[in-house]
Amino acid sequence: MTKKHLIDPMDFSKEELEEIFNLAHQIIANPKEYSNVCDGKILATLFYEPSTRTRFSFEAAMMRLGGKILGFSEPNSSSTAKGETLADTITMVSIYADIIAMRHPKEGAARLASMYSEVPVINAGDGGHQHPTQTLTDLLTIKSLKEGLNNHVIGLCGDLKNGRTVHSLIKAMSRYEGTKFILISPKELSIPTYIREEVLLKNNVEFREVEKLEDVIEELDILYMTRIQKERFFNEEEYLRLKDSYILDVEKMKLAKDDMIVMHPLPRVNEIDIEVDKDKRASYFKQAEYGMYVRMALIAKLLEVV
Ligand code: CP
């Protein structure tokens, strides 16, 4: 692997992604073989925004590879609270750690960090922009549960305007043959123009935009639900009006194919009824588990320890 940082889902070629997915599968099959490959290495997790899965899975990944971790989950406990710039923080942390995973509310913050870092920087989410390691998680899930990454009809449902996981997944899946997207959202929360024009239209990817999940669920191979992102709304009334736009329940699942899988980057609020968890097609917790293994593979590749 020649790449130093992972900032955008397109930073890796399809071949490099295959290497990561193959390694993730090897780690799943034989975790003991990889339990010391990061001996002596340190991962810094710098989280300027809340997280459960991404931070814990990065930290669990490094510990399962035999490495150590440092970092913060609350920026006010760091010198950011005293006015230190991101550039200075990264300059310092890249002296202490061998690799950095960073989440930040500002779009472009991870790219900026990579310019000041002596060690690999992984974007763990930058504002409403991109979330490339969620995309690695999503691709590994699809590859593992749907026998490969080609020829899938993917329904993306919910807050497609603010959902960075959606933007990253559209970019990544647009490279695979036969991908067709059905974009399900209220008009107010439809995909950003740059995704529609610079990714979908520019690459001749088949897609259509609809407002009702019930109208299209029977066509889908993959249903990717997302939460309405309260923290990205400027107007609380608008959030309250839109927050329950979609609720996937047992009745709607009856309309879907027997082998459709339901994915969700999590956390969920109420867009998937908990009764759906019992359905064998509910794949979101398995997806989160794949997230840890794919991050193990990513860390190992970026540190060149395998
Ligand atoms: N999927 C995801 O990014 O979850 P967290 O916000 O809990 O990290």
Q: Which residues belong to the annotated binding site for carbamoyl phosphate?
A: 53-54, 103, 131, 134, 266-267
pLDDT tens by residue, 97-142? 999 999 999 999 999 999 999 999 999 999 888 999 999 999 999 9
Q: Give the ligand 1 atom nearest the CA of 125.
A: 3
Q: 184 and 211 in contact (C-beta within 8 Å)?
A: yes
For domain 35-130, say whether CATH 3.40.50.1950 is its number.
no
User: Please, what is the average pLDDT of the chain?
Assistant: 96
131 is an active site residue: yes
Question: CB of 266 closer than 6 A to ligand 1?
Answer: yes
54 is an active site residue: yes
pLDDT at 302: 97
- Give the CA dihedral 239, 244, 246, 249, nearest 10 degrees: 150
64 is an active site residue: no
If one residue of 45, 48, 51, 283 were mutated to test the ligand 1 pocket, choosing by the most ligand atoms within 8 A of its CB, it would be 51
Question: CB of 51 closer than 6 A to ligand 1?
Answer: yes
Nearest in space to 142 (alpha carbons), one of 129, 158, 130, 153: 153
- CATH 3.40.50.1370 residue ranges of the chain are 35-130, 133-288
pLDDT band of 186, cuts 50, 70, 90: very high
**Residue nearest atom 4 in ligand 1 by C-alpha distance:** 53
Alpha helix positions (H), 161-215: 164-173, 193-194
278 is an active site residue: no
Average pLDDT over residues 169-175: 96
Question: CB of 265 closer than 6 A to ligand 1?
Answer: yes
| pLDDT reading at 56 higher than 90 | yes
CATH superfamily of domain region 133-288 = Aspartate/ornithine carbamoyltransferase (3.40.50.1370)
Distance 8 CA to ligand 1 centre (A): 17
Average pLDDT over residues 211-235: 93
pLDDT band of 149, cuts 50, 70, 90: very high
The CA radius of gyration of the chain, in Å to the nearest whole number, is: 19
Q: Give the ligand 1 atom nearest the CA of 57.
A: 8
Alpha helix positions (H), the chain: 14-29, 53-64, 86-96, 109-116, 132-145, 164-173, 193-194, 236-242, 250-253, 284-302
| pLDDT reading at 1 higher than 80 | no
pLDDT band of 282, cuts 50, 70, 90: very high
103 is an active site residue: yes
Q: Give the pTM.
A: 0.95
pLDDT at 260: 98
pLDDT at 4: 86
pLDDT at 306: 96
| pLDDT reading at 3 higher than 70 | no
Nearest in space to 295 (alpha carbons), one of 13, 3, 23, 8: 23
Q: 101 and 124 in contact (C-beta within 8 Å)?
A: yes
Catalytic residue chosen out of the listed positions 5, 55, 131, 152: 131
pLDDT at 2: 53
| pLDDT reading at 239 higher than 90 | no
